[in-house]
Amino acid sequence: MATNAGEIGGMVSFIRRVAVLLGLLLPLSVTGAHAADPCPGRADALGTARVLELDPKGVRVGTKSFPATLPLAPKEVVLTFDDGPWPRTTAAVLDALKAECVHATFFLIGENAKARPELVRRALAEGHTIAHHTMTHPAATLAKIPFAAAVKEIESGIVADEKAAYGASGPAPRVPFFRFPGFASTPELLTYLDGKGIAVFGADFWASDWNVMTPEAELDLVLKRLDAAGGGIVLFHDTKSYTAAMIPGFLRALAERGYKVVHVVPKAPG
């Protein structure tokens, strides 16, 4: 029987709402949530609706890769950006987020963080979450290289990101959030990350901005996917000029359509 996009979106929203109410999406993983600060001097800004503290142990989220996602209410969105920091485009994305008082999570490539620590420190200073995406983003993906080489990619990337952000790297990452390049995980690597207490992020929908397109085409595409999903973790790339150009319009569209932004951070020690 044929089902239109509106019906699908409605069913997804209903299922998400029921799952959140029953605590089925991510049992025992969320340890706190509180309202974010308002946007000073910008009553019309989108803002960050709330902050979600996440206990990373055993967490695998994003329905494109895993059965579970974050326990978000309908029309709540988590903004994530991969592959930066990159000249000009990352700064433009940060400018757009700052203008709307919105916070996001940046999954950094270690070699890019090492090359542009000033952008990493800016993102950190402006309240964004600094997370990890390997050292070099190997073209073969971590699933296609030896286990030891994959672990080295993960660990060296975390060290480079932390040195860029904080000046030094400790025995455990300050933000134990990781995303696999190309979402290409393996059971062995997932077990390794579980053992390290590192949460693995996928996505619930994405902008497909690895394909070249105009900002207008990307905005249309991601809004259609957002409305169909009803909210969730969205993936962008802050290395893409068309994405950087599109983000201001996307944030305004979120506000106009009644969506709320949730900022995910790791649970504070203790």
Catalytic machinery residues? 82, 237
Cβ contacts of 197 within 8 Å, gap of 6 or more: 56, 57, 172, 176
3-state secondary structure of 147: helix
Q: Which residues, 6 or more positions from 105, have their beta carbon under 8 angstroms from its beta carbon?
A: 78, 79, 80, 81, 128, 129, 131, 177, 201, 263, 264
Q: How many separate helices (H) and strands (E) can be counted in the chain?
A: 8, 11
Span between the terminal Cα atoms of the chain, in Å: 52
Give dist(CA 40, CA 38) in Å, integer: 6
Quick one: which H or E segment has residue 80? strand 76-82
Q: Read off the tokens for 75.
A: 């029309």
d(CA 238, CA 92): 9
